[in-house]
Amino acid sequence: MNNSEWPLWEVFIRSKQGLDHKHVGSLHAADAAMAVQNARDVYTRRLEGVSIWVVESKHIHASNPDEAAEFFDPAADKVYRHPTFYDVPDSIKHM
Amino acid sequence: METPTLAPTPEEQFQARIDADVRIEPKDWMPDAYRKTLIRQISQHAHSELVGMLPEGNWITRAPSLRRKSILLAKVQDEAGHGLYLYSAAETLGTTRDQMLADLHSGKAKYSSIFNYPTLSWADMGCVGWLVDGAAILNQVPLCRTSYGPYARAMVRVCKEESFHQRQGFEVMQTLCEGSAVQKEMAQESLNRWWWPTLMMFGPADDASPNTEQSMKWRIKRFTNDELRQKFVDMMVPQAEFLGLTVPDEKLKWNEARQAYDFGEVNWDEFWSVVKGNGMCNHERLQARVQAHEEGAWVREAALAHAEKRQAREAVAVAA
């Protein structure tokens, strides 16, 4: 058996104009054009999208889940970044 | 001597996340057995979708109308899509598409035994949609909440599409049941053949299903085989009655105390025999898959060669 598996691509779909592209899954394709076409057939058979992005999976770099706690820690103790941290008198409107 | 409090092991931390209903994602730590169980279950599920195209593909050219033909084509295309969602989910666990297909083709990996039964009449397209997809939906809906994220997300997509499959099957049955006496007879004959194999789709009885307990603990499975089988019978009997069809089970009886149907024993000898490869169509199904794969090999190779050639040309163009 030859080693000729098509590369893996991650598929992102914009479900409608004005929304972000969102990751929906992955597929195999020989090149980008085929990946877009396959993505249409696999992920938008019922008008789920108006635009497709494909990215070869090997190009995706991710944060390490084992270090997630430390990695996201800096945001954990900064409650003052949220509007609910501040007491606004009841009589103040439009804030 | 007092036992010192030990830090939780990775296994304990993992189980704590599962118990808190936190989804597990591809790069998270997981026990090897969890990974193996999932690869086995997801790839088996993907294989079932793929092989499941064959019994229905059998009727595409003989569908009784253009409407039925278009619907059947769309349904078979969906099955291919479902297989692809699931293979992708399994690949996130570290296996490859080639490996999974090799395991299917060598007979090492299993697929749902239901597809080893032949589709002999047009009514079988009704029963496959109504009964088989009905059973699949019962199995699949709880899987939308399974603990492994990519599997759960694939199942959400599958379930959204599956409901059309069941309805079109019911419509085929209803049309036959409202048709001539011969047509209704065809529907009944089909139900007679598919009822018991469909009940087998939920897998062995709980006391003969050694993997269930661990799978429930890991929240891969949310209901036992017998629970789902009972649900299915309770759901389908009124639908069969609506169609004016008789469920082929003499022991089938409403149990007022249990608020559920009592029903006869599945023929487990037949079940295991089909699982072991001795069903009516095991050989034919596998042969069709292998043949399709082998005959498509040149297309896969040519596409790759074409992509490489274009890439090389582009590189030259950029360099110039």
Q: Which of A5, A34, A62 sits opposite B98 (nearest CB)?
A: A5
pTM assigned to the model: 0.92
Residue A2 has pLDDT above 70, yes or no: no
Residue A1 has pLDDT above 60, yes or no: no
CATH architecture of structural domain A3-85? Roll (3.10)
**pLDDT the model gives residue B269:** 96
- The alpha-carbon gap from A89 to the nearest alpha carbon of chain B, in Å, equals 38
Range of lowest pLDDT (B4-8, B54-58, B69-73, B160-164): B4-8
Chosen from B29, B30, B98 to mutate, greatest number of chain A CBs within 10 A = B98
CA distances A79 to A75, A84, B26, B248, Å, are: 8, 8, 31, 65
Chosen from B13, B25, B27, B306 to mutate, greatest number of chain A CBs within 10 A = B27
Q: Checking DSSP bridges between strand B260-262 and strand B253-255, what pairing results, if any?
A: antiparallel
- The alpha-carbon gap from A45 to the nearest alpha carbon of chain B, in Å, equals 8
A 10 A CB-CB count for A15 gives 16
- The alpha-carbon gap from B150 to the nearest alpha carbon of chain A, in Å, equals 8
Give the span between the Cα atoms of A84 and A82, in whole angstroms: 5
**Positive or negative CA dihedral for A28, B51, B150, B92?**
negative
Q: What are phi and psi of A76, to 5 degrees?
A: -70, -30
Write out the residues of chain A at the interface with chain B, using a CB-CB cutoff of 8 A: 1-6, 8, 24-28, 30-31, 34, 41-42, 45-46, 62, 64-66
Give the chain B residue nearest A68 (alpha carbons): B28
Which percentage of chain B shows pLDDT scores above 70? 99
Give the span between the Cα atoms of A73 and A70, in whole angstroms: 5
In the structure, what pLDDT confidence band is assigned to residue A37 with cuts at 50, 70 and 90? very high
Q: Which of A1, A25, A31 sits opposite B310 (nearest CB)?
A: A31
- B252-274 pLDDT tens trace: 999 999 999 999 999 999 999 99
In the structure, what pLDDT confidence band is assigned to residue B148 with cuts at 50, 70 and 90? very high
Chosen from A31, A40, A54, A61 to mutate, greatest number of chain B CBs within 10 A = A31
**pLDDT the model gives residue A3:** 58
Q: What is the interface pTM, i.e. ipTM, of the complex?
A: 0.87
What tokens were used for B184? Answer: 């209704």
**pLDDT the model gives residue B1:** 59
- B71-119 pLDDT tens trace: 999 999 999 999 999 999 999 999 999 999 999 999 999 999 999 999 9
- B174-224 pLDDT tens trace: 999 999 999 999 999 999 999 999 999 999 999 998 888 999 999 999 999
- The alpha-carbon gap from A20 to the nearest alpha carbon of chain B, in Å, equals 18
Residue B249 sits at the vertex; the CA angle it makes with B243 and B253, to the nearest 5 degrees, is 85
Q: What are phi and psi of B35, to 5 degrees?
A: -60, -45
**pLDDT the model gives residue A5:** 87
Q: What are phi and psi of A2, to 5 degrees?
A: -85, 155
**pLDDT the model gives residue B181:** 98
In the structure, what pLDDT confidence band is assigned to residue B319 with cuts at 50, 70 and 90? confident
Residue B55 has pLDDT above 70, yes or no: yes
A 10 A CB-CB count for A94 gives 3
Chain A hits for B77, CB-CB cut-off 8 Å, are 41, 45
Coil, helix or strand at residue A43: helix
Give the chain A residue nearest B311 (alpha carbons): A31
Q: Which of A1, A27, A65 sits opposite B27 (nearest CB)?
A: A65
Q: Which of A6, A25, A34 sits opposite B85 (nearest CB)?
A: A25
Q: How many residue pairs bridge chain A and chain B with CB atoms within 8 Å of each other?
A: 57
Residues ≥6 apart with Cβ < 8 Å to B24? B14, B17, B18, B30, B34, B147, B148, B149
Residue B3 has pLDDT above 80, yes or no: no
Chain B hits for A27, CB-CB cut-off 8 Å, are 84, 88
Residue whose tokens read 């789920």: A48
Residue B277: DSSP 8-state: I
Chain B hits for A46, CB-CB cut-off 8 Å, are 161
Give the span between the Cα atoms of B228 and B205, in whole angstroms: 11
Give the span between the Cα atoms of A58 and A61, in whole angstroms: 8
Q: What are phi and psi of B2, to 5 degrees?
A: -80, 135
What tokens were used for B59? Answer: 């009727």
Give the chain B residue nearest A62 (alpha carbons): B27
**pLDDT the model gives residue B211:** 84
- Average the pLDDT over B272-285 and give the result: 94
Residues ≥6 apart with Cβ < 8 Å to A71? A63, A64
**pLDDT the model gives residue B2:** 63
The amino acid that residue B184 corresponds to is K
Residues ≥6 apart with Cβ < 8 Å to B126? B169, B170, B171, B172, B173, B176, B187, B190
- A38-89 pLDDT tens trace: 999 999 999 999 999 999 999 999 999 889 889 999 888 899 999 999 999 9
Of B4 and B198, which is predicted with more confidence?
Answer: B198
